[in-house]
C-alpha cells in the first residue's frame, strides 16, 4: 500500500500538472467498490469544477475544487475530492489517445485536452467528495514537534510498531517506514511504546523524519504496483535496511534480518542492532 512518501510524490506530481485545469466531464466504471460517495455526488461535484490545488493529507490525495464561474474568494471553495490509493491504485495524467489500462475506474476529461485516470486492479482504493472539506485523522509526522511526538506514546502498552501504524496518532506512516525508522533508531518493533526512554524517543523522532524525507526525495518505494503520476517507479527500496530483507545481512553489523508478525503485520528488524 502506498505510504506517506509515495502519496506525497504523486500529489506533488499532480499539483504541477493539473492545478488550474477544469474538469470537463467524468466517467466512472461499473464497479461499486472504489466509490465511497455515490456516482451522482462525485459527478456533480467534479464536472465543471476547477482544480485549485492538490495536496496530501495522510495517505489521501486531496483535490480542492472551485465552483465554475466562482465569485469572491470566500465563495470559491466548491468541494474536496479525495482519493485513497488502497493497495494497488494509481492516478495518471494521460493523453486521450492512450488506450485505457485494465481496471480503470474513473476518467476525468480536462479542458486542457488531457485525461486524469484512476486505475486500481484490486479495488481497495476509494474515491469520495466532501462538501464541507476533508480532514485526515492524526498528526503529520513531518510537522509534529518532538514534545508532541513523545506525548503520543505515553501510557500506550501496544508495541511501538503498532503505535507508529496507528493513523489516529500519526497520519501516513505505514509498514515500510515504521520498520525503517525503528531500524535507524535501533529499537525493536515489539517494545511497548510506553517503555521507551527519552533518548530512544529522540532517536525515533529523528529517524522517522529522516527516512520519510529521504524516501520522498527518492520518489518513494516501488515494492509492488506503485508508480508516480507519470507512471515511473520510486527508488527508495534500494536504501531499505530491514524491510523486505528477511534472512539478508544487516547493512550495519552483518547479522541476518529477522521477520516477526505484530498485530497481523510483518515487521523486519536486526536482532543485534535493535535492542
Catalytic residues: 2-3, 59, 265
Contact 189, 182 (CB under 8 A): yes
Nearest to 59 by CA among 134, 146, 119, 112: 134
| Residue partners of 272: CB distance under 8 A and separation at least 6 | 250, 253, 255
Q: How many other CB atoms sit within 10 Å of the CB of residue 233?
A: 14
Alpha carbon distance 101, 86 (integer Å): 18
Q: How far is CA 275 from CA 114, 151, 185, 213, 227, in A?
A: 52, 22, 10, 25, 35
Q: What is the rounded CA–CA span in Å between residue 79 and residue 224? A: 32
As a whole number of Å, the CA-based R_g of the chain is: 20
Bridge partners (DSSP) of residue 53 are: 64
Burial class (CB in 10 A: 0-12, 13-18, 19+), 10: buried
Amino acid at each position: 500500500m502506498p505510504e506517506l512518501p509515495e502519496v506525497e510524490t504523486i500529489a506533488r506530481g499532480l499539483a504541477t500538472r493539473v492545478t488550474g485545469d477544469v474538469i470537463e466531464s467524468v466517467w466512472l466504471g461499473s464497479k461499486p467498490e472504489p466509490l465511497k460517495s455515490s456516482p451522482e455526488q462525485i459527478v456533480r461535484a467534479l464536472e465543471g469544477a476547477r482544480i485549485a490545488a492538490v495536496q496530501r493529507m495522510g495517505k489521501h490525495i486531496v483535490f480542492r475544487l472551485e465552483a465554475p464561474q466562482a465569485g469572491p474568494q470566500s465563495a470559491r471553495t466548491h468541494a474536496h475530492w479525495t482519493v485513497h490509493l488502497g493497495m494497488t491504485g494509481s492516478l495518471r495524467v494521460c493523453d486521450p489517445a492512450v488506450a485505457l489500462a485494465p481496471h480503470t475506474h474513473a476518467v476525468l476529461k480536462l479542458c486542457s485536452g488531457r485525461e486524469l485516470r484512476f486505475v486500481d486492479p484490486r479495488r481497495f482504493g476509494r474515491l469520495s467528495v466532501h462538501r464541507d472539506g476533508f480532514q485526515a485523522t492524526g498528526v503529520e509526522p513531518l510537522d509534529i514537534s518532538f514534545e508532541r511526538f513523545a506525548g503520543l506514546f505515553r501510557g500506550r502498552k501496544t508495541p511501538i510498531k503498532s503505535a507508529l501504524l496507528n493513523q489516529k496518532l500519526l497520519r501516513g506512516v505505514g509498514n515500510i517506514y515504521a520498520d525503517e525508522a525503528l531500524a535507524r533508531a535501533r529499537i525493536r518493533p515489539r517494545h511497548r511504546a510506553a517503555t521507551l526512554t527519552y533518548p530512544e524517543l529522540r532517536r525515533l523522532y529523528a529517524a522517522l523524519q529522516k527516512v520519510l524525507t529521504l524516501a520522498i526525495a527518492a520518489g518513494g518505494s516501488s515494492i509492488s504496483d506503485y508508480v508516480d503520476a507519470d507512471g515511473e517507479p520510486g527508488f527508495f527500496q534500494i536504501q531499505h535496511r530491514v524491510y523486505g530483507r528477511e534472512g539478508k545481512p544487516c547493512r550495519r553489523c552483518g547479522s541476518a534480518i529477522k521477520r516477526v508478525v505484530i498485530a497481523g503485520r510483518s515487521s523486519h528488524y536486526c536482532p543485534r542492532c535493535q535492542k
